Structure 1
């Protein structure tokens, strides 16, 4: 039986060349095999413990945020509507990868249908783009609330919030769709083993036996034009916000105003830093061991959904007070 060539020994996945035309053709593979975390297979059960813990915290925390905002009428405001959008996005994002990953780690269930793989790829990348769009919406909300407070109620009406939400969803769906169309178009050869724990875009298309520079360049285009512009918009918004804060007359006023957006800043940093690091490392840091690539890719999908409700629960007074009231009320 012909040995399946694979590039784990050199520490990263190398694209296959067209010269290997005598190998098995997987141009329409029925299934892919998710390898998990290459090189750390013996530790999969131990690695699954913190991953599972992060997932449980993310589920409980984000559902708690949704429950509190729904029940508390005083929180029916744009800031908290955007927070609910973020919670739903985090729930879908973490659920898109964790159940299958845990099935692979615990029960060695590594096979995934080709269509299911593309569906998972679409959900992961679509909701990543949606999440960064929600951060832009939240930055805009804070900008209007702090820089133009008298126009806040007329600028961010419920109708406007719905339009922003629809725009975020449509933008994510449209920009990520070419990922799937290109990935479905490529012929696959040599192996159907994905050196990853989920169907990450670059990890999948690198299995194609043709030049996949179009997919790679489009992914870089999305990174720079969508996420890059979002980061610039958020940075400009917060520069203006900080200007207003530093021009306030008293220290107490500065601290109180900054406190209203500090949680948002923490959440942004928790999302963008590992996401940007992982994306750039995949494209440029070829000497980094593959298992480190995969671990970082998992962490940047699992860490923000876990941290976001904790940060907002601790740093947002209205949510914190309501949560404390719920616990004390249930205990009486």
Structure 2
């Protein structure tokens, strides 16, 4: 065998042109259309809810404040994550479970990119509430539309670069063996576990990045809300305490939905506990998609300004309709 043919043989056996998304195992093929409809409904609700938030805040001048700029960035991140994952999941059950190597790597990058952006946006939300409650006199000076826009831009750019480094590690690995991804979409752990190389050295790097992205913001959020609770408890007026804490409840709900299930799964993985494949996929899908699906409802029904604005517009519309009906 010549050097050329040896090299050609090695190249052909160390590259995988495509991956197969296994998804939930055990579902009969005749029910795939039903599973696809289920995820399509989730995608339609997720996109319509987050697009509504973006359009509503953009059209309503009274809501163009730092808090709602952060909400809009979070809606963009949720919309990006849903659009990165759900169409591919639907396609798996309706068309084909095969995804090309490059498409898989691109999806992996975007999945973790939007996840990282969401995590840091949660911390930015906590910062906004921390300054508003613990230092209200300086809030108009410190928290302005321009400063929030700059901070949001920085976290989008920094995560863009940071996740590029993680993706380059995955790309540098040879893939020559199994190509079945035990998930509904491509993520770092699922892809890197298929590499035909020792990943012992890459695990600490990826784990440290994941912990920084997840627990770095979480530790700051815990610190912020402990300080907020202490400040709220110092308010002598009971009604004042209630109203002040009420402004934090939407963020607290979002934070709990995002961080608690993730931390549980990560801690279980760290101590060596492995979930059954379908259960693991279900848990990951739940903590990845459910917050993005439920966030617009939390904004609308738990945020007083948005709720009041919606009610006012609804009443104005009803008055216009009633006014038209009594005209001859």
Q: TM-score, normalized by length of structure 2?
A: 0.88
> Is the Cα contact below 8 Å between 2:57 and 2:63 reproduced in 1?
yes
Higher relative contact order (CA 8 A, sep 6+): 1
Q: Which deviates more from structure 2 when the two are superposed, residues 176-185 or residues 202-211?
A: 176-185
> Is the Cα contact below 8 Å between 2:39 and 2:89 reproduced in 1?
no
What is the CA deviation profile of residues 79-120 of structure 1, one whole-angstrom value per residue up to 9, with x for unaligned ones? 00000000000000111000010011122x112121111111
Number of residue equivalences: 310
Alignment of 1:208-227 (within 5 A): 208-227=195-214
Secondary structure of the 2:129 match is helix
- 1:173 corresponds, among 157, 160, 163, to 160
**Which residue does 1:316 correspond to in 2?**
303
**Which residue does 2:79 correspond to in 1?**
91
- 1:296 corresponds, among 280, 283, 296, to 283
Partners of 1:243 and 1:97 lie apart in 2 by 40
Partners of 1:24 and 1:38 lie apart in 2 by 32
Q: TM-score, normalized by length of structure 1?
A: 0.87
Alignment of 1:1-332 (within 5 A): 26-40=13-27, 42=29, 44-107=32-95, 109-330=96-317, 332=321
RMSD: 2.1
Secondary structure of the 1:213 match is coil
- Structure 1 unmatched runs, 5+: 1-21
| Distance of aligned partners of 1:26 and 1:268 in 2 relative to their CA distance in 1, 3 Å threshold | farther
Q: Shift in Å at residue 262 of structure 1? A: 0.7
Higher radius of gyration, 1 or 2? 2
Q: Shift in Å at residue 39 of structure 1? A: 3.5
> Is the Cα contact below 8 Å between 1:23 and 1:189 reproduced in 2?
no
Partners of 1:298 and 1:249 lie apart in 2 by 43
- Structure 2 unmatched runs, 5+: 1-8, 322-328
